[in-house]
Structure 1
Amino acid sequence: MITIFLRIYSLVWKLALPFLRRARRTSFGWQERTLAKAPEGPFDLWIQAASGGESMLTNMVLDELNQTLESKFKINILATSGTKEGVDSLKKAKEKRNTSCFELQIAYFPFDAPFLMEKAFNRFAPRLAVIVETELWPAFLVYAQKKGVPVFLINGRMSDKSCGSYKRFSSFFHAYGPDRTWAISELDQARLAGVMGTEKVGLMNNIKFDRITPIKNSQPDVKLQSLLPADQPFILFGSIRREEEDKILKTVKELLTRRSDITVGIFPKHIDRAEVWQDKLQQLNIVTCRRSHIREDTPLAAVIIWDVFGELALAYQLAKVAFVGGSLVNLGGQNFLEPLVFGLRPIIGPYWRNFAWVGREIVTSGLVIEVADENMLTSTILKQLDDQEDKDRILEQVQEYFDPKKGGTRFVCQKITEKLHAL
């Protein structure tokens, strides 16, 4: 049965490859994706990260391995990703990492065509394969088993919708799924177990928690600080998505009507929306300026629209109040953990499923403030403007909340090293 599946699956890939060659997203790294040019094994470990987020977790695992592996047992590692963002993230981290215990090569993940994946396992010859989070390519799993390569799935998660889709093929995943899977919550564990089998699925702490470290006594960025009036509270709207712009615009207008002593910073999720924001604000006769246009002699504006990359985290340090977007409409939310490390309680909307792994307790504990709509957002911001928050106390609460949830990276590295020693 699996032979018939592989033949049909191969045919589908052969038909798809010409179209993938012309697609911008999959044209990057084409020679590596098709193995015309690719690293040569053997590798002790092949770790696969789907995209940028998973690559960040992979870098954390590699950093931890760099600290825990003994140099006398030097190993060869291949790290792959399916996107340019993921590969770039892996390469950037490699440049900064000094290693004495492993050699690292980075490449694009080969297309899952059976004729390519068989060639990949022959060429890479890994002793152990690790999948970060949940990306289950069938040919990858089949040829891992055919070549006798154990597969781990780490930081496993599965949405209810994905679970329904995967369950249709549960017989395949029972037979060819990862040898061991570690899920980040009991709910994810139950879903993954329903697909792969209870005996194969365990629990671990989410690696992402290891990134959350309170930054005490942080010094504000002097350059950014100079953009803002010293005597005015700074209200930050971060990672605002196009679909919620009108709701945020309503809040900004009401805030400036009620409080003339504030400066507002708008950080669109996509900076190409900066011009749209400027037009909308000017139509309301609100004095505004784009961040890239500010000079020493630029008049002060009520609203600054950020149209440059890389300054959101620095700006959180300067904010009196911060709202994190993607959450006022059903878009899943953006990263609201970043303000917390600076002792700033973020406000979010009701839609933050992308960060459900953090746990509802983040709201019930008071570390994050959830609002139902833009009207409640306005009133909450006005209230926070009058509150005198103790940043040191907030940082203590952040540490108390996240410290028990850490250790996932160390756990994964322990499982990897144990397995490599056993093989």
Structure 2
Amino acid sequence: MTGCQCAVQWRWAYSAVSWLLCPAFIAYGWRRVRNGTRATAFYDWTGRYPLAWRTAKGRPRFWVHAVSVGEVVAASSVVVALRRRFPDAWVLLTTVTETGMATARQRVPAANAFAFLPFDLAPFPRWAMERVRPDALILVETELWGNLMHAAKTHGAHIVLVNGRLSDATFARAQTPLGKPVYRWLLSHLDLCLMRSDMDAERLRQLGVAHDRVQVIGDVKLDQPQVGLSEGQKAMLRSELGLFREHLLWVAGSTHAGEEDAVLRAYRRLSPHLPALRLLLAPRHVERVGSVMATVQAHGLTPLRRSLCNGKPLRANEVIVLDTVGELAQLYGLAAVAFVGGSLIPRGGHNLMEPLLHGVPVLFGPHVDNFRPHAELLRREGLGFGVRDAEELAQTAWKLLRSEALRQTIAWQAQQLLARHRGAAKRAADAIAQLLAGEGPNGRTKPIAPLRVER
């Protein structure tokens, strides 16, 4: 059915609140441009995508939205699966962050176009929909934007949630007196919810989503192509970083303020007992590189920017600080052990699965609300280890770093786990294809309607 059937009063209330936040949206845009985002991003943020997209060849048309790097990783396998199912499809991939955009262009060559998501202020999403005219709007994980979804339904698009998840915090907000009707309105736009776990699916049902709209397909973040580095690739990266084969590299990825201090204290405690140990810090936001280098110096160590690594042997008192974008996922492949940040402080954690794709054991703090099913899965399988502070971080890292046999066992177990989740992206593509086809009279599938171009 063409047109949005959502509750009008909630749409107007949502739009009113969005417009009250308009100054914040504008300030955010100017800050992004001052920090290096292209000025033409304002065309994206206001929904003024290229008019040529409106008549671009290819059917069906998919708009896939992934907010940042972790969601883009999930989207990459889904886009590949959609391309296999629909070779002639036209695919737009949108993100919010600059790092997400860089990762999308690098990892998702199967997409036809890339853009930043429009600000969720009417009429910007409507203008974007008039140019994209998707058959399906595919939202990765929990990207529920009210005006965007309303515009999609108004233009006759199906809306699909892929790799859906509901964090502890989101689920709690959705059950408050105000949150309950708001989330019920937001979720009413969804035609199909493809969830990553039984827990996430059950939470969605408790919020009022019809059972026949919810499916558990597995975690598409675990359904990735083989990412293990070849021996040649490892040798080249080691040479660039000044590492020898016998070095034990500890990669602390996606860290926030306060977490580097804990990692450095743990590293200084372990380093005298493990002469081969080396450390690489990868702050979540590249603009923090300067402050991270200052923190390294405060611990009596010498920081070294990744971009300036020239192959000179890395000494134990030197710490590499990652100042490049889109390289962390690959560098996990050199690690003996990894720590994933955003978890020792209340930020909800980050993608715990990136190191696991390389068979690397994962350490993380107690604040993993955004990745609770992943954290529980890793603990249960003996592949991930929760820590509460620098002391536990040092103790757990010590157990892993001193036992090569234990690390090899974890690498083998990781391969078995990934094998069990293989095919999640294909299941997502199959479910989307079934939704687009629908059921016609006598059980026949309805073909996708030809693209309508207004003149």
Q: TM-score, normalised by structure 2?
A: 0.75
Deviation at 1:21, TM superposition (A): 3.2
Q: Which of 134, 141, 147 is 1:139 aligned to?
A: 147
Are residues 394 and 225 of structure 1, via their aligned partners in 2, closer, same or farther at CA, if it must alter by over 3 Å? farther
Q: Deviations over 1:252-310 (max 9, x none)?
A: 23223445x2343141414223421332122xxx5x35245666777844332324426
- Does structure 2 retain, via aligned residues, the 8 Å contact 1:237–1:325? no
**2:451 — aligned with what?**
none
Aligned partner of residue 152 in structure 1, secondary structure? strand
Aligned to 1:100: none
Task: Report the equivalent of 1:418.
Answer: 434
Measured on the aligned residues, the alpha-carbon RMSD in Å equals: 3.5
264, 267, 277: which is aligned to 2:295? 277
Q: Is the 8 A contact 2:63 2:134 kept in 1?
A: no
Structure 1, unaligned runs of 5 or more: 98-102
Q: 1:205 to 1:315 in 2, by over 3 A?
A: closer
* Aligned residue number for residue 320 of structure 2: 305
Shift in CA distance, 198/247, structure 1 to aligned 2, threshold 3 Å? same
Cα gap change, 1:196/1:265 in structure 2, threshold over 3 Å: closer, same or farther?
same
Q: Aligned partners of 1:13 and 1:349: how far apart in 2? A: 34
Partner of 2:219: 206
Aligned length, in residue pairs:
408
- Structure 1 pair 311–86 and aligned structure 2 pair: CA distance change class (3 A): closer
Describe the superposition over 1:167-213 as per-residue Cα deviations: whole angstroms up to 9, x where unpaired: 23255346x42122122222211222233423332222111111274
Matched, 1:64 2:76: no
1:46 aligns with one of 56, 62, 84: 62
The structural deviation recorded for 1:336 is 4.1
Show the 5 A alignment for 1:348-359.
348-359=364-375
Q: 2:386 maps to what in 1?
A: 370
Secondary structure of 2:114 counterpart? strand
Unmatched 5+ residue regions in structure 2? Answer: 1-5, 34-38, 438-445, 449-455
Q: C-alpha distance in 1, partners of 2:321/2:419? A: 33
Do residues 111 (structure 1) and 128 (structure 2) align? no
Q: Distance in 2 between matches of 1:162 and 1:105?
A: 31
Q: Which has the larger radius of gyration?
A: 1
Structure 1 182/353 Cα, relative in aligned 2: closer, same or farther at 3 Å?
same
1:15-414 equivalence runs, <5 A: 16-17=21-22, 20-23=25-28, 24-25=31-32, 29-39=41-51, 40-41=53-54, 44-52=60-68, 53-69=70-86, 71=87, 74-93=88-107, 96-97=109-110, 104-163=112-171, 164-165=173-174, 166-173=179-186, 176-199=188-211, 200-211=213-224, 213=226, 215=228, 218-219=231-232, 220-222=234-236, 224-225=238-239, 228=242, 230=244, 233-239=247-253, 240-259=255-274, 261-269=275-283, 270-282=288-300, 288-291=302-305, 300-309=315-324, 312-313=328-329, 315-389=331-405, 393-414=409-430
Displacement of 1:398 in angstroms is 1.2
Amino acid at match of 1:140: L
Letter in 2 for 1:302: N
Deviations 1:341-360 (A, max 9, x none): 44432333333333323252
